[in-house]
Structure 1
């Protein structure tokens, strides 16, 4: 498995992705979010959720003001008003990511302390790369086909893994051409984004092929519909499936895990690190001679 530039500096901290798995918690300041249905729309609730996530072990908190799902446009000023106060409150405590496809929102968030811009539209607006290039922020480039907040009915791929890889390679080249350094680019294959369950399962099954891109890979698969449709589970009952999919992707090269269930995902990733020999056990008592008893 290849990771170019494995040591990254994000939010003032150095992370060696050749031997680290990182959890990115999700905080949505929207009344119609996919998973929590507005539970963290209020400012105090959003800040508290971010603090709780950091305390549970998340090293990144991803703050969004607009859902990915199709819907009416939100004025940029309103999106900034939702996101920036949360960034200001959380950035002294944890690396903060902003989930946005608007360059103006990204710029305001970076000025407020955000360390990552998470663009789920894959730089649909190339000016996003310019904003990132003019900062110290990292950009997450996700694969998705539709214009922002629009439907893409019956998506077709000749070969879903090859097509996703080609898209990510092209959008990374765009970012590089605009001056974004390679060590500040993360790639996300976009589980469920403009993809059917069968397509997302194939993308997951062949996830290891994406490591040929040489980038740090992020997966955002927590509680998604491909898990619900695979297991016949409603949105609130997909944790086991989410952890299984995350573990599979970790074993095949994923390094950042965007998740709703932070504590459980942190435990899963830390267990994988321990199995790999990247992390020492918290303690050892089982079948170990107590200290001082020779």
Structure 2
């Protein structure tokens, strides 16, 4: 899953692809590099991020979804928590809803049920503006698993098909450095929930704070995290650096299937 943030303030690439033409070219590039999903976001969810109103978010994402749908045979993911953005995005060609608030915003669950497309539910303790103030857990993995059990049950009871549910434990979303690495270490424990696992570690502060690297120098850490996630049950990797991650996955695949080479 290649990340395409069309925002002025995302933590890694804020403003870099905020023009329509630049965003289209970057989508073209990621598809050529091997991305099977393009994840389009019109609202930054970095710590301290400000809210974006509905019309602004729609203006950022809908034309881009239409462009990718018309030019590439890949899945399109809409990274949003707003019900109306979900509706218009799917109508424009999006295949997947990626919601950091796990369909808990007003009308979001009902909209997802009506659209009947796959949805990724992410865990976040708190809200983007405050989530990193003082996150605490009794047991970070078990607490997040309990949250997912409750959300999966609520979503399926409302009418979402179980086969349309994915989960993302939300690295960096209301977690300390220790919480993030414990999550990565214990990733296999989420398999008991029986749903696909989407993992987003790319260029995050868990790499920067550990390695003392700024955002532009976190490729090695991001690839190490992607490899560990892939080895421990992740079905989808959400990344900025598509070409390098595809190379990593090809090496892992060749190692597991050397007799077919």
Confirm or deny a common fold (TM above 0.5). yes
CA–CA separation in structure 2 for the residues paired with 1:55 and 1:95: 14
Partner of 2:129 in structure 1? Answer: 150
Match of 1:50 in 2: 27
Match of 2:90 among 75, 87, 110: 110
Paired residue secondary structure (1:254): coil
| Match runs of 1:34-45 below 5 Å | 34-45=11-22
Deviations 1:75-96 (A, max 9, x none): 1011011100000000241211
- Partner Cα separation in structure 2 for residue 71 and residue 253 of structure 1: 30
- Given that residues 273 and 279 in structure 1 are in contact (C-alpha distance below 8 angstroms), is that contact kept between their aligned partners in structure 2? no
TM-score (norm 2): 0.94
Structure 2 residue matching 1:30: 3-state secondary structure: coil
Q: Does residue 79 of structure 1 match 2:57?
A: yes
Contact kept? 1:187, 1:216, Cα under 8 Å: yes
1:30 aligns with 2:7: yes
Name the counterpart of 1:235: 215
For the 8 Å contact 1:98–1:106, the answer to whether it is kept is yes
Q: How many angstroms apart in 2 are the aligned matches of 1:216 and 1:52?
A: 26
Distance, in Å, in 2 between the alignment partners of 1:91 and 1:169 is 33
The residue that corresponds to 1:3 in the other structure is none
SS in 2 for 1:242: helix
Question: 2:224 aligned with 1:247, yes or no?
Answer: no
The aligned residue for residue 185 of structure 2 is: 205
Aligned pairs, how many? 257
Name the structure 2 match of 1:285.
none
The offset of 1:277, in angstroms, is 2.3
Give TM-score scaled by structure 1 length: 0.84
Answer yes or no: is 1:61 the counterpart of 2:53: no
Q: Pick from 171, 179, 186: which aligns with 2:159? A: 179
Higher strand share: 1
1:159, CA displacement in angstroms?
A: 0.2
The CA RMSD measured in Å over matched residues stands at 1.5
Q: Secondary structure at the match of 1:193?
A: coil
The one of 221, 229, 232 equivalent to 2:201 is 221
Q: Which has the higher helix share?
A: 2
CA contact (8 A) 1:26 1:63 kept: yes
**Structure 1 residue 278, shift from structure 2 partner:** 9.3
Q: 1:48 Cα shift?
A: 1.1
Between stretches 130-139 and 239-248, larger displacement belongs to 130-139
Q: Which runs of 5+ in 1 are unaligned?
A: 1-23, 282-294
Task: Provide the rounded CA distance (Å) in 1 between the counterparts of 2:222 and 2:259.
Answer: 23
Contact 2:145 2:190 in 1 (8 A): yes
1:86, 1:194 → 2: CA distance? 30
SS at 1:140 equivalent: strand
Q: Tell me by how many angstroms 1:205 deviates.
A: 0.8
Distance 2:109 2:33 in 1: 32
In the TM superposition, what is the alpha-carbon distance from 1:273 to its structure 2 partner? 2.1
Looking at structure 1, the residues matched to 12 and 246 of structure 2 have their Cα atoms a distance apart, in angstroms, of: 19
Deviates more, 1:218-227 or 1:271-280: 271-280
Unaligned runs of 5+ in 2: none
The answer to whether 1:188 aligns with 2:188 is no
